[in-house]
Structure 1
Amino acid sequence: MGPLEPDPAELLVGLVVFFLMFAVLGKVLLPRVERMLTLRRDATEGRQERAEQLRAEAEDTLAALRHELDSARHEAARIRQEATEQGLVLMAEIRAEGRRECAALLADARAAIARDRALAEAELHGEVGDLAVELAGRVVGEPLSGIAQQRRIVERFLATRTA
């Protein structure tokens, strides 16, 4: 083989050193490299997984909040509807009460007008009688006597007119 022929002692030493280096690499350096690669993979993929988990939790929370918001809107609509119905009932009651008060005021006013009319009519009956006697005296040219008799005549006349 010439100059490439290996010396058996050197070959043996080379093989021992090679296996020793291989053992050191396999037992010490390769586990460290593997650990480092695992940490790096966990850091990148783990963050992605954690980000996915956080996104899923956020979506769940968002869905729950939307559900609560929808429930609150529904409840608010129900409360508005109830308030509208109660308002309509109250308005109807107030209108009815106003109509009752109006009817009572009209009845009181009509009664007061009837009372005042009766008083005015009674007062005017006496004055009409006196004025009729005075007018008759002026037409005749003499004062008329017997006022009591004249009053009865005037009252009979007025009674036939109002009846």
Structure 2
Amino acid sequence: MAAATIELLAAEEQNPLIPAVYDIVWSIVALAVVAFVFWKFVLPMAQRVLDERTEKIEGGLARAEAAQDEAQAALEQYRAQLAEARSEAAKIREDARTQGQQIIAEMKAQAQEESDRIVAAGHSQLAAQRQQIVTELRSDLGKTAVDLAEKVIGESLADDVKRAGTIDRFLNELDAVSADSAAGK
């Protein structure tokens, strides 16, 4: 009976919310073993995975930055080439404009020379035609004058030497009269 009372007293003194000491000790030992295994094996493996991921992310960022820098350099090079091409195109346009003006000036000079040559040829042709017409008119006028003189005088002026002298004298007098009338105006 005494043993039963001790058990009963021990059972009454034990709080059901607080576990027994042996349970606490064995729980601490099990927790220490699990913590050791976790600390020794799981944590380094997780740290390695995190380090690899960090490296991949940092490497990706570095590659992205390098690609971005390369793209920026290519863009700058493209812009420089574009500016160079634009300036070269402007230079070509200016050269073409200058050459066009030179060609126009040369064509104008050639046209003026051709025009002057044509005008000079026309003047010389007109002078030759005028001289030919004057000669023909003198001859016709001389014949007409001799014919009229023969009719007025009533004798024949058939002698060619006489006739030529008479015609020349008549035309000289006619030229003198027209020169006097031109000077009088």
TM-score (norm 1): 0.76
Q: Which moved more, 1:74-83 or 1:13-22?
A: 13-22
Percent sequence identity over aligned pairs: 29
- 2:157 corresponds to which letter in structure 1? S
Report whether the alignment pairs 1:71 with 2:84.
yes
Consecutive unaligned residues of structure 1, counting only runs of 5 or more, are none
Report whether the alignment pairs 1:92 with 2:120.
no
Task: Give the aligned CA root-mean-square deviation in angstroms.
Answer: 3.0
TM-score (norm 2): 0.68
Q: Which moved more, 1:94-103 or 1:52-61?
A: 52-61
Give the alignment of 1:67-146 within 5 angstroms: 67-137=80-150, 140=152, 142=154, 144-146=156-158
| CA apart distance, 1:146 | 3.8
Paired residues of 2:142 and 2:167 also in contact (CA < 8 A): yes
Paired residues of 1:133 and 1:144 also in contact (CA < 8 A): no
- 1:91 corresponds to which letter in structure 2? I
| CA apart distance, 1:85 | 0.9
Residue-by-residue CA offset, 1:117-152 (whole Å, 9 max, x unaligned): 2222222211111122223445x3956434432432
Residue-by-residue CA offset, 1:13-53 (whole Å, 9 max, x unaligned): 54443233222212322233233344455556654554444
Residue-by-residue CA offset, 1:39-75 (whole Å, 9 max, x unaligned): 4555566545544443343233222211210111011
Find the aligned partners of 1:59 and 1:115 in 2 and give their Cα distance: 82
- 1:67 corresponds to which letter in structure 2? A
